[in-house]
Structure 1
Amino acid sequence: MNAVNHPVSPAGTLRWLLKREYWENRGGFLYAPVIAGIVSLLMSGIGIGLGLFALHRAARDGGLHIDGESVNINGLDLAVLTRDISAKDMADLGNGLDLAMVLTSSWPLIVLAFVVFFYCLGALYDDRRDRSILFWKSLPLSDTQTVLSKVFSALIVAPLIAIIASSLTLLVFMLVLCLVVVSHGGDAMQLIVGPANPMSLVLGMFVSIPVYALWALPTAGWLLLCSAWAKSKPFLWAVMLPLFAGIIVSTTKLMHLFDLTTGWFWQHIVGRLLLGAMPGMDLLYRAGGGESRQDLDSIVALMAPAAQLKSLAMPDLWIGAAFGVAFIFIAIRLRKRAGEI
């Protein structure tokens, strides 16, 4: 009986290309954010330990006072310290906890920015440098499929893994705080789980993935274009061209001809080309565009799912995304003509 060969669908081809990208870049996509989360937890644990040591010593020496009474109870009793906490203090505690959780869980996302930057920068250049492009071009794979698989890996797969690592880091950090509170006579539900908003923060991070993908598109497209075009040292080309352009614009005051400032060029051209892969950059641009102080003062309000989606209404996001698509199109055309370096 003759075997029947079923052609692979475009979706199936893309799935295998994504698996290839993950297998070849597992260190950056998976291990780097996980290790960053672990290191963040270790550093936070050390900070908590030092803080507890200082508080224990202050309590033992009578350095802590509640309602004029010294606290000296063989250590630190959080039930005593928080028995008269006001509603305002509880709200401030919640904001402080949210900020602490965001800072602790941000390490995998900071690592993500570097992973995406250098992945895109070498994605097409490395294939030409080691001549593996000849092998991949011998397969029934189009250049469009290959480049798009790299775009999807950089803007969807890598952020998804990093956000999962970040979310786990946040939840483990909250668990550590709960254990610390319970071990010192406090009520974890009252002092940690109640005031904090971990689920809103986690949901906001996952909702931010499409916003991140669109916001980082011009950076990813620019880096892929340089990766496909540069004969050598793509990093220098990708970084120095925007920087030199910014220096020229600054020295010649060229933007004044368009009634724009030099800062506008650095922010909207140089910044979007080089820094778009940093998670949360859209929030900074929204803040610079007149976001209300009430929204910016609350970590939860800033990172809530509805607030994250506000970035989709920014014209800057869609204009940048359009340029990103154009860069990717040029990168595909360059790869079609790619030869040996």
Structure 2
Amino acid sequence: MNALAANTAGNRWTRTFAWLLRREFWENRGGFLWAPVITGGIAVAMATLLALAGAVQARRQLGGGEAESIDDLGAYLRIVGAAGDGLLMAGCSMLSAVLAFVVFFYALGSLYDDRRDRSVLFWKSLPVSDAQTVLSKAAWALLLAPLLSVLVGLAVGIALWLVAAVAMLVGGLPHPGALFTHSHPFSVAGRLLATVPLGLLWSLPTVGWLMFCSALVRSKPFLWAALVPVLGCVMLSVFGAVPGLDLPYGKIWYVAVYRGLMSVMPGSWSVHGMGSRLQSGEIHDPSQLVSAILDQTSNWQLYASWDLWIGAAVGAALVAAAIPLRRWRDEASA
């Protein structure tokens, strides 16, 4: 009987949580779905116009004749294939900035907006726990919104891929099929999808901090969440002019601002790795650049870093702290 009761309770919890996830999507589908779809549609439309203009110009320069012979066909095909991989990645890269803004402001208002419009009183009257509500919002900010962004980005990348192939064919450029035969769409898609769990752990400090502030403050959550850490770091930097006061200002800025506020940007973990590779002169052609970017999307070495796990632990603690705060705070001012 105890096992049956536990199983029934578990099924009820799962159904309630799934319902909360659907509720979050329908209440915020403008940011989660339509913002990346519209951005991607505009990008594809502009790329189509530019590709048509480029194809007409290329055809005009050829004068109806054949393209010049290629000295190193293998290198040319590799470059075209790398361009195809780059176009597939371009969709996700383009939408990553949209995702960062959507997730940042969604997490910032996730628990504050319910208190401001008093709808929290309605939701608390339902058989839904505060833990389920907070975790459903965290699930969208950390996992489901990035996953949806990657899927939409891949669709946009495929559209750009096809536009480029048609433009090469219309423009009379040699070997347009190399965009398909020498690119690696499944590898690119797999590596981009692999960024989702990595991004979940990396962005936990920012999402946790924003949700904690959203549950804690009674008004102006943006000022508390963003300006307080930034102004605190600025004041510490000003105090650095005091003789004898030696603080690790770079580390403080990194922890409080970069990890605390900017980790929500997809791929923000790769800044230092890409910078060192560019400065070392390892990258000499477009195919190597694309390969370096793909290596950063699946940077498994990051899973062994203390930076990732300490930040994830702090973020998880902040999300957990937001649960009792939501239970205690019922009202918020504008």
Give the match for residue 236 of structure 2.
249
Query: CA offset at residue 82 of structure 1?
Result: 5.5
Alpha-carbon distance change, 309 to 82 in structure 1, aligned in 2, over 3 angstroms: farther
Deviation track 1:282-334 (CA, whole Å, cap 9, x = no partner) reads 11144467897648953234325983433222221111111101211221121
Q: Secondary structure at the match of 1:145?
A: helix
Give the match for residue 29 of structure 2.
26
Partner of residue 319 from structure 1, selected from 310, 314, 320: 310
Alpha-carbon distance change, 301 to 331 in structure 1, aligned in 2, over 3 angstroms: same
Query: CA offset at residue 88 of structure 1?
Result: 2.9
User: Is 1:106 aligned to residue 109 of structure 2?
Assistant: no
Q: Number of residues paired by the alignment?
A: 319
Q: Which runs of 5+ in 1 are unaligned?
A: 1-5, 60-70
Deviation track 1:187-224 (CA, whole Å, cap 9, x = no partner) reads 3333x113323322211111111001111111100110
Give the match for residue 182 of structure 1.
169
CA distance in 1, matches of 2:244, 2:185: 48
Alpha-carbon distance change, 299 to 265 in structure 1, aligned in 2, over 3 angstroms: farther
More relative contact order, 1 or 2 (CA 8 Å, 6+ apart) = 2
CA distance in 2, matches of 1:238, 1:181: 48
- Checking the alignment, whether the CA contact within 8 Å between 2:58 and 2:171 is kept in structure 1 is no
Q: Secondary structure at the match of 1:37?
A: helix
- Checking the alignment, whether the CA contact within 8 Å between 1:286 and 1:311 is kept in structure 2 is no
Give the match for residue 147 of structure 1.
134
User: Is 1:116 aligned to residue 107 of structure 2?
Assistant: no
Give the match for residue 148 of structure 2.
161
Segments of 4+ moved more than 4 angstroms: 256-260, 288-297
Deviation track 1:221-254 (CA, whole Å, cap 9, x = no partner) reads 0110111111111111111011112102211239
Partner of residue 92 from structure 1, selected from 79, 98, 113: 79
Give the match for residue 270 of structure 2.
283
Output the amino acid matched with 1:314. S
State the TM-score, normalized to the length of structure 2: 0.85
Alpha-carbon distance change, 286 to 90 in structure 1, aligned in 2, over 3 angstroms: same
CA distance in 2, matches of 1:306, 1:239: 27
CA distance in 1, matches of 2:150, 2:264: 14
Q: Secondary structure at the match of 1:35?
A: helix
Query: CA offset at residue 271 of structure 1?
Result: 0.8
Give the match for residue 14 of structure 1.
17
Output the amino acid matched with 2:27. E
- Checking the alignment, whether the CA contact within 8 Å between 1:120 and 1:223 is kept in structure 2 is yes
Query: CA offset at residue 39 of structure 1?
Result: 1.2
Give the match for residue 5 of structure 2.
none
Q: Secondary structure at the match of 2:257?
A: helix
CA distance in 2, matches of 1:178, 1:273: 42
- Checking the alignment, whether the CA contact within 8 Å between 2:51 and 2:163 is kept in structure 1 is no
Output the amino acid matched with 1:302. I
Q: Which runs of 5+ in 2 are unaligned?
A: 1-7
CA distance in 2, matches of 1:295, 1:333: 50
CA distance in 2, matches of 1:53, 1:240: 50
Alpha-carbon distance change, 284 to 260 in structure 1, aligned in 2, over 3 angstroms: farther
- Checking the alignment, whether the CA contact within 8 Å between 1:197 and 1:300 is kept in structure 2 is no
State the TM-score, normalized to the length of structure 1: 0.84
Give the match for residue 49 of structure 1.
52
Query: CA offset at residue 146 of structure 1?
Result: 0.8
Partner of residue 119 from structure 2, selected from 122, 132, 143: 132
Q: Secondary structure at the match of 1:223?
A: helix
Alpha-carbon distance change, 127 to 289 in structure 1, aligned in 2, over 3 angstroms: farther
